[in-house]
Chain A
Amino acid sequence: MYKKLSKTLLASSMAAALLLAGCGGQDSAEKSNAAPKKDDPNEEVTLTFWDENAGPQRTPIWEELIKRFEEENPNIDVEYVGLPKDSAKTKYDAAIAANDTPDVGSVQTSWLPEFSLRDALLPLDSYFEGWDQKDKINAGAIDFNKDIVNDNKLYGIPYTQNLDILWVRPDWFKEKGTKIPETWDEFFTAIEEQTDKANNRYGYTIRGGAGGSFQLQRLMYAYSGEEEYIKDGKSTINSPEHAEFLKKYFALYKEYTPKSDITNGYKEMIAGFDTGAVAMVQHNIGSFGEHSEALEPDQFQAIPLPKTPDGKYVAEGGNTIGVSIFKDTEHPEAAWKFTSFLNSKESQSYWNQEVGQIPTNADVLEEAWVKESPHIQTAFKVYDDPNTILYKPPFYLPEYRSILDSTVDSGTQAVLSGKMSVEDFLDEWATAVEEAQKKYDEHFKK
């Protein structure tokens, strides 16, 4: 009896094995279809490229660029892998932990310190030095990338940059005779003037929910003009200027902004502007596409964040995305060829025009489409101004992001709901940053 049972079990496990083999077989058949062989077998190289923000908008742009690259380099095959934005970092983390990284990847600048510390990236200094177009790439962005990593090497070539700005309703501003704000006083006055609660219209909307911390920080530094995030182990987050600003800023809540702001995420905030409920919103030039879909061209306009009291623009450094090569690549030469191709004038022009962001290659900035895009002009004006202050957030601190996501996002809500004072909020934030910095210094014995 048991013999029979074991025989049958054996038979069924074999059946299961066959089934598994069946799946596997189908799979390998697909594989050979997916990667057609090129003519020259000797020089055949396959590179994998990971895109950290895949989707119906950006994936076709990368595919077009890859097609152009493969036409120029018939012996190099580039395999595209698109990662959903929200999970891209996790996917990179797992790949680095398991030593199974792609050859080339699109990597956000704020990830560079961590990835380089984990020894995952290939230093690009020597390749970059030998590249004939190196002077075209925004020197500030290149220096910034070297500055933020521990060993001051170049690990990513930025191909696009972004900037926080204000989106305003020029038609409403004109109607009420409100001045488009250039200083912070004008900013607060404009919000008051544009608010018309009887008609369900608010002057401004605060991002009180997820992701609000990043925007809040950019406003604070734009107000104070402070260049250092951490000075001699002390954070500038809780400076008196920042407290002064936040008191004025949070006082807008409910008075001149919708009550629902306390839970505003990106979508809700943009929807408020795009459905004609608020007159002004802080975001970056990346939301251009959504405004242009919902509003008429004369109903929205990009303006820089107001200047500091001494008349300077402030931008957060590292608001770029770059191409990095991973250390484990077996084809560093081909990977560099692809990296430099993506940063060429033609590629950057195509990518940034399609996406609606600012290129880093100076040659592109001369092109007609850039000159005809007022929002890109606005951002470019800020980056091009020699007096613009670029402050450096501590991307190198492993806790940096989690401080913003947990301490600051929830603190913002506590202040908005009146449970916490602005001073306590800023002190808590500063303490968290200072402790993270101390741990970092101890680890690297600075």
Chain B
Amino acid sequence: MNRKSQQKFDRLFTLNIPILAMLIFTLFPLYWTINTAFKQEGEIVQRPLSYLPVSPTIDNFVTAWTNVGFSTYFKNSLLVGVCTVLIVLVLSTLSGYALSRYKFKGKRPFLLMLLCTQFIPRSMLIIPLFIIFKNMGLISNPLSLIITYAAVEIPFTTVLMNGFISNVPRELEEAAMIDGCNRLQAIRHVIFPLLIPGIVATSVFTFIYTWNEFLLALMLTNQQGRFTLPVGLSYMMGEFNINYGALAAGSVIALIPAIILFAYAQKHLVNGMGGAVKG
């Protein structure tokens, strides 16, 4: 065996086969969900299993979208997700900047505190949050979810942003200020463009969290038309009848924005992660 074919052989066992195995492992559930989503109700429970729908149908999507009300839940989830991401971005970029660039007393304890907020179990907060939002008249209002999600995410994303900003050399900013920028202009024109990977990573994290959050979404909403997608998905699982078809179709619908987001953000995300690790 010459060297070239030896290399090829090594590559096969160290790269191609492991990657293929991993792909099968991660993609199979996805394939099965999509497969189930297009099957007719009877075919789903039928044995032997069919690996492709025999007579494909979009009935499950219609059930999920119209009968179960996914169109409404989808809209609600999108509204909550986008608003939360915007708030989190503005606040965590600014506070991340402060943590990275200014020296002040108690900075370390403050950072530690930010991390500690992540240890509080969410289910402990339900009743206090409910009472607070009830007194504010915000129950069943998307604002209650947006505020809560932003509050939950900001400490973590601030720490994340702090890392990204620390990676941008201070000298760039100083050079801009020597050329006549004030601090905010320097942030906008010099730091911001360099932060794009970090911003994308933060947005994706935040969006995925709001998109998947179930407990608070159920607890802080008392109106059918205000629930978000995870609540809608949980309707498909009663003890006596699990509507596998509609559940799968609903999952596929819920997956679409996440997939689009990741496809778009992939390049930045990898860069962003690298930055976070270094920071």
Contact = CB atoms under 8 A, between A and B. Distances in A.
Given A5-B184, A12-B90, A94-B127, A84 B142 contact: no
Nearest to B247: A56
A160 B84 CA distance: 43
B267 interface: no
Interface stretch (A282-290, A322-330, A425-433): A282-290
Among A1, A8, A23, A56, the most chain B Cβ lie within 10 Å of the Cβ of A56
B87 A19 contact: yes
A1 B235 contact: no
B241 A55 contact: yes
Contacts of B237: 55, 84-86
B183 A86 contact: no
B183 A1 contact: yes
13 contacts: A8-B184, A12-B94, A26-B79, A30-B225, A53-B239, A54-B235, A55-B236, A56-B63, A84-B218, A84-B235, A86-B237, A94-B219, A102-B222
A55 B139 contact: no
B182 interface: yes
Contacts of B231: 84
A198 interface: no
Among B134, B184, B236, the most chain A Cβ lie within 10 Å of the Cβ of B184
Given A56-B63, A85-B238, A79 B224 contact: yes
Interface of A: 1, 4-5, 8-9, 12, 15-16, 19-20, 23-24, 26-27, 30, 34, 48, 53-60, 79-87, 90-91, 94-95, 97-98, 100, 102, 266-267, 274-276, 286-287, 289-290, 293-294
B60 to A, nearest CB: 10
Contacts of B45: 274, 290, 293-294
A82 B218 contact: no
Contact of B47 (A4, A102, A275): A275
Contacts of A59: 68, 235
Among B42, B94, B225, B235, the most chain A Cβ lie within 10 Å of the Cβ of B235
Interface residues of B, number: 48
Nearest to B177: A1
Contacts of B271: none
A82 B94 CA distance: 41
B131 interface: yes
Contacts of A83: 218
A98 B47 CA distance: 49
Contact of B130 (A15, A27, A98): A98
A27 B143 contact: yes
Given A8-B184, A266-B239, A24 B218 contact: no
Which 7 A/B pairs are nearest by Cβ-Cβ distance? A84-B234, A286-B240, A55-B235, A98-B130, A55-B238, A97-B127, A98-B131
Contact of B68 (A1, A12, A56): A56
A23 B238 contact: no
Contacts of A95: 130, 222
Contact of A20 (B63, B127, B146): B146
B126 A94 contact: yes
Given A55-B236, A290-B241, A82 B224 contact: yes
B50 interface: no
A174 B222 CA distance: 53
Nearest to A270: B240
A81 B223 contact: yes
Contacts of B214: 87
B143 A19 contact: no
B270 interface: no
A79 B42 CA distance: 34
A405 B130 CA distance: 27
A87 B222 CA distance: 13
Nearest to B47: A275
Contacts of A8: 184
A97 to B, nearest CB: 5
B67 A60 contact: yes
Given A81-B224, A82-B235, A267 B215 contact: no
Contacts of A90: 126, 219
Given A1-B182, A19-B83, A57-B241, A100 B130 contact: yes
Contacts of B215: 87
Contacts of B225: 30, 34
A289 B241 contact: yes
B246 interface: yes
